[in-house]
Structure 1
Amino acid sequence: MRGIRPTRRLTALGSAGALVTATLIAGAVAAPSATAETRHNGQDREAIGAAIAAARAAHAGIDWQDCPADWGFEKPIQCGWVTVPVDYAHPFGKQIKLAVDRIGNTGTKEERQGALVYNPGGPGGSGLRFPRRVTTKSALWTNVSKAYDFVGFDPRGVGHSAPISCEDPQEFVKAPKADPVPDTNADKQAQRKLARQYAEGCLERSGRTVLQQMTTANTARDLDVIRAALGEKKLNYLGVSYGTYLGAVYGTLFPGHVRRMIVDSVVNPAQSNIWYEANLGQDVAFEGRWKDWEDWVAKNDATYHLGTTRDAVQAKWLQLRATAKKSPIGGVVGPAELISFFQSAPYYDSSWAPTASVFSKYVAGDTQALVDAAAPDMSNTAGNITAENGNAVYTAVECTDAKWPTSWSKWNRDNTRLNKDYPFMTWANAWMNLPCATWPVQQQTPVNVKTGKGLPTVMIVQSTRDAATPFEGAVELHKRFKGSRLIIENGAGSHGVTGLVNPCINSRVDTYLLTGRTDSADVTCTPHATPTP
């Protein structure tokens, strides 16, 4: 799950797929067993539709080819397409194509255990770079890649998968934007107007039919169709950040289709948390991790010269914000751009030193370093399209997934209260999510995540000081997925734990994926190494 994002028209929908044989239809319809709850929510039609689409995909398979040159994926990575219905209640209606890619296992035929499918989060993130963990010879994944094909995909609406849009990409990235922290009621009203216009833009540029179906539940159904197209009877899955919620929903809708599942940096899946409360929780957690970074910067004052205490570093941050508000640095870096850049520090430990270095250079008189780091690149057409598309998908999924408050007084009250003690992200996060208050399509009821028949042991990995997905989310999913195992990185806070070097965690990930075995109880690991200047 992402916080504030740094700074094409929808492709034509494919025609409905040909009718499958009577045998395939019969097998597909017999597959789901809708519970009383799903029938009550009207989801039994989607369950049947998902089974039909999966059967159709299993029959068609994937026509793997060399990836298009402009996708940027080298051989032996291959790319292909999986066709899914826009609306699973109408599986023979409009279809879209999802982009997938893969690299085969590096071990022997006997060592192969199937495909490992990855989602990096968002909503709005592309997983297509996942096979490059093999081509770039990432040491963390050497053992697992011997046993598994690494498979990535663009979820519906993302990248190459019928991308949606809410705003002209150049308008989306242009800077400077208004200061997210309001001084007056007029500032708040201006932001409300922008949020309403953004929601209207999503409808205008993406269309009601598609926008209504941009949900996590549908992406989970897409994931099952991908599983079937890969020829896999059961899914092996690695999900990070929002990808953990996608995994939790998949595990609830298709418990008998899971073989191995790792969820890393976990969204709290409680229905009451999706998504308004989740974003308020982020504001609190980001403040805590921001202070962790300031403490580290102060500890390394000999390198950065930003102050020997947290309060001293914070004072320089507030001074920087005030300067940028009075006159945007380089004409393009205002307070909004500063938050977009500096939020990477509480997100990822790997950003601690680079962020501190840019800050230090600015204080020493090098303003260009800050402009280069924080200002959007208006000439980067492809990157700007990607940024706008990612934000559009984030908004569409979170706004459609759940019912959001429509009362401005509630938004104003909650965020004014939080901002007093947690000012780093609160208002910026509020404005980013405010389009959900005037969302133009029907908002859904989130899936009630729980253990279903056939769900195997799920591995949950979480750091205790994660800002984007607070620790409580892992605890909640652990309760809901009976028999799951929780691996805790105590005292750490980088978002995305399985991609870091920590033998206590890395060895358990390998063991689980290669053998299915876990510890007999939950495990607490010491943190990975603290960054060095």
Structure 2
Amino acid sequence: MSVLPRPTALLCALVAAATLLPTATPARGSSASLTFGACPDSVPRPPAPDRVECGRLTVPLDRQRPSGPRIEIAVSRVPASGTPAERRGILLVNPGGPGGSGLPYAVTKRAKLPASVRRSYDVIGFDPRGVGHSAPVDCGAMGGLFTAPGADPVPTTPWAERTYLTSQRHMADDCATGAGAQVLPYLSTEQTAYDMDAIRAALGEPRTSFLGVSYGSYLGAAYVARFPHRVGRMVLDSVVGPWDWHDFDVIQSRAMLRARDTFFAWTAAHAERFGLGVGADAVRRSYLRVRRGLAADPVNGFGPAEFDRAVYRALGRTERWAGLADGLRAYLTDGSPDGLRPASAFDSPESRNYQAANRIVKCADGPVPTPREVVADIRRIRRVDPQPVLTGLEASTCAYWHHRPDHRTPLGSPAAPPVLLVASAHDPVTPIEGARRLREVLPGSRLVTLDDDYSHGVFASRGNACVDRAVAAHLVDGTVPAADVRCSGPGLPVTAAAAPSR
């Protein structure tokens, strides 16, 4: 394996991971084939008779320099359970991010897919470059991101704005040092799209069918742009729109405010259950009391940054709303934030890798904001609501990035077959306007909308028969609806679960 001019965390991690997965063996020509074997412990085992197997594929770090440094991409496969006549090929899957590990996703997502899809496809998971077992990146302290309690992430004064920008600069410096400044340009969505096609070629398949959720939709659209004639059947779920990443983050932050207002109203409708006040305004005041209290006096490393991360996560799925409301009440009752704490540690190795890869990919994908633009956008968000949730403004650090992309990641192509887009009508993580905008660069595509739904992730996730039937028909039979599809959604939870005993 070739090495870069000087050691980097990325390549050191690559060497350390070399014994975890079987290596790809060269095939005739310039491509390689995949040899599958046992999987790392992080990959769950599916119930018998299904099986999961893993391997790795060596690819160029820079596709424009095929003889230059190389990295390894970790791949997993759950073979189709149907007969040879039922088989439709491979279905690559990606869970989102940027930064999400796809190696276990082949197992976990496949378990939720309709039986007809499981019978038709070998489900292929992979860790995108820089993630998990694919030469994972590490940005070290990342400008204090993992310090607990973290600084208040919502700057409200000129001094606080300067402090916020300084933290973003330090984050960019940490990524340049930790990952290696010379590799930053090559951990992009566009380069990952090339890796996807390398996986297709190594498996000997003529086409790539693909299911991408959240960021996975952006990755799928990038694959379409580069390889339109190799696209099989593609489903893009909970769609990221074709915006620059900072612009997307700002759009998301406004959608989060709409979702939070809906949460306040829903909680008020269950006033006896949650005890946070009668009326949405009263619930909002209770919410602000909790945040102000934690900002003034963090509890065991849990302050305003940790609170905002908990709120951000909870707003993305309505089934988490009751837990958020219970956590607010518990703090107001006994001063404990434990009900708001996530189950997994934010500073775990997996989380650190996710947060590093997230920034690196976003900053490699296209135009970056200036510090002045970052501050102006935060001020505009605060004019909508003085206390926003800015957890998703991850591309702010790109204002200080050590590499400036020379072009925007291309998305979509008129030469590709129709793509099926899926969206929840009120998803705060990937607002539905992203699906409508992306469809403009995917001619002939159709949009399946789950109306009256407020959660992120739809197909084989929300349990909606209308959505699942339309998507399965596309994947298995290639059916493209004659027009967009509207499915009736579940609405907000009708009743809240009983409060857990204390």
TM-score (norm 2): 0.89
Closer, same or farther: CA 279–312 of 1 in aligned 2, 3 Å: same
Deviates more, 1:409-418 or 1:67-76: 67-76
Cα distance in structure 2, aligned partners of 1:275 and 1:70? 30
* CA gap 1:497/1:82 in 2 versus in 1, 3 angstroms: same
Q: Of 171, 181, 187, which residue of structure 2 is paired with 1:214?
A: 187
Corresponding position of 1:489? 450
Counterpart Cα distance in 2 of 1:424 and 1:91: 49
Match of 1:421 among 380, 384, 398: 384
1:57-110: CA deviations, max 9, x gaps?
3xx311100113355546721111011110000012111111111111122222
Q: Secondary structure at the match of 2:483?
A: coil
Who is 1:109 aligned against? 84
Q: 1:18 to 1:320 in 2, by over 3 A?
A: closer
1:63 aligns with 2:35: yes
Alignment of 1:296-311 (within 5 A): 296-311=266-281
Q: What residue is the counterpart of 2:397 in the other structure?
A: 435
Deviation sequence 1:191-213 (CA, Å, 0-9, x none)? 22211111011111111232111
The worse-fitting range, judged by mean Cα deviation, of 85-94 and 305-314 is 305-314
Counterparts of 1:76-475 in structure 2, within 5 Å, are 76-133=51-108, 137-138=111-112, 140-168=113-141, 172-269=145-242, 273-328=243-298, 330-365=299-334, 367=336, 369-370=338-339, 373-374=341-342, 377=345, 384-406=348-370, 408-423=371-386, 425=388, 427-430=390-393, 432-453=394-415, 455-475=416-436
Q: What is the CA distance between 1:375 and its match in structure 2? A: 8.9
What is aligned with 1:510?
472
Consecutive unaligned residues of structure 1, counting only runs of 5 or more, are 1-7, 25-55
d(CA) in 1 for partners of 2:136 and 2:452? 39
| Letter of the 2:123 counterpart | F
Which residue does 1:43 correspond to in 2?
none
Deviation at 1:230, TM superposition (A): 1.9
SS in 2 for 1:83: strand
For the 8 Å contact 2:168–2:397, the answer to whether it is kept is yes
What corresponds to 2:9 in structure 1? 9
Alignment-mate amino acid for residue 463 of structure 2? V
Q: Which runs of 5+ in 2 are unaligned?
A: 1-7, 19-23, 497-502
Deviations 1:1-45 (A, max 9, x none): xxxxxxx93234679x99986xx3xxxxxxxxxxxxxxxxxxxxx
Change (3 A) 1:349 1:474: same
Distance 1:428 1:342, change over 3 A: closer
RMSD, matched Cα: 2.5
Q: Quick one: distance in 2 between partners of 1:396 and 1:215?
A: 8
What is the CA distance between 1:267 and its match in structure 2? 1.1
Paired letter, 1:251: V
Instruction: Give me the whole-angstrom Cα distance separating, in 2, the residues matched to 1:134 and 1:505.
Output: 16
What does 1:515-526 correspond to in 2, within 5 Å? 515-526=477-488
Q: Measure, in 2, the Cα distance between the counterparts of 1:192 and 1:448.
A: 29
For residues 398-449 of structure 1, give each alpha carbon's deviation from its aligned partner in whole angstroms, at most 9, with x where no partner exists: 112112122x33322221122121455454444x432211110122321343
Report the alpha carbon displacement of residue 187 of structure 1 after superposing the two structures with TM: 1.8
Could you tell me which amino acid in structure 2 is paired with residue 439 of structure 1?
Answer: W
Can you list the C-alpha shifts for 1:214-243, whole angstroms capped at 9, x where unaligned? 211111111111111122110110001111
Q: Which amino acid aligns with 1:291?
A: D
Structure 2 Cα separation of the partners of residues 197 and 239 of structure 1: 32
Change (3 A) 1:153 1:88: same
The answer to whether the 8 Å contact 1:104/1:150 transfers is: yes
Distance 2:152 2:195 in 1: 39
Deviations 1:290-341 (A, max 9, x none): 112222211122221112321111110100011001100x231111100101
- Give the share of equivalent positions with the same residue, in percent: 34
1:424 to 1:149, Cα distance in 2 relative to 1, 3 A: farther
Q: Distance in 2 between matches of 1:68 and 1:447?
A: 32
Cα separation, 2, equivalents of 1:489 and 1:291: 20
Structure 2 CA distance for aligned equivalents of residues 73 and 170 of structure 1: 37
Structure 1 range deviating more: 463-472 or 79-88: 463-472
**Alpha-carbon separation, structure 1, partners of 2:149 and 2:432:** 34
Is the Cα contact below 8 Å between 1:287 and 1:423 reproduced in 2? no
Check 1:91–1:348 CA distance in 2 against 1; reply closer, same or farther (3 A cut): same
